[in-house]
Structure 1
Amino acid sequence: MKNIQSFFSQMTRKSRPVYQQMELALPGSRLTRDEADFLVQIRRLREQLARS
């Protein structure tokens, strides 16, 4: 579990500006679909970690 959290905090630290763009759901943002999917997965993982 700790590994996931450390991996996770590294990922979110690097991608935070992009992550915030995602939150705004900007049309015409430069994210590819893969990147967007990845960020959605990160968000889901974050929510799971917050619950646990």
Structure 2
Amino acid sequence: MWTVLIILLVAWAVLSIVGFAFEGLLWLGIIGIVLFVGTVIFGLVRRSVARRAS
């Protein structure tokens, strides 16, 4: 599970960098940041739920 989250975080970071590097792809950078933050929040929620279950 953590491997998938890390791969997604790297993908979103790359999309954000590409989006902000090219002026016409600014929307891609914004979407990348939103997805990055969403993935981090999802990972933190999953981790806290797993700790409570143990």
Bin of the TM-score, shorter chain as denominator length: 0.3 to 0.5
Higher RCO structure (Cα 8 Å, ≥6 apart): 1
Structure 2-normalised TM-score? Answer: 0.46
Name the one with the larger helix percent.
2
Structure 1-normalised TM-score? Answer: 0.47
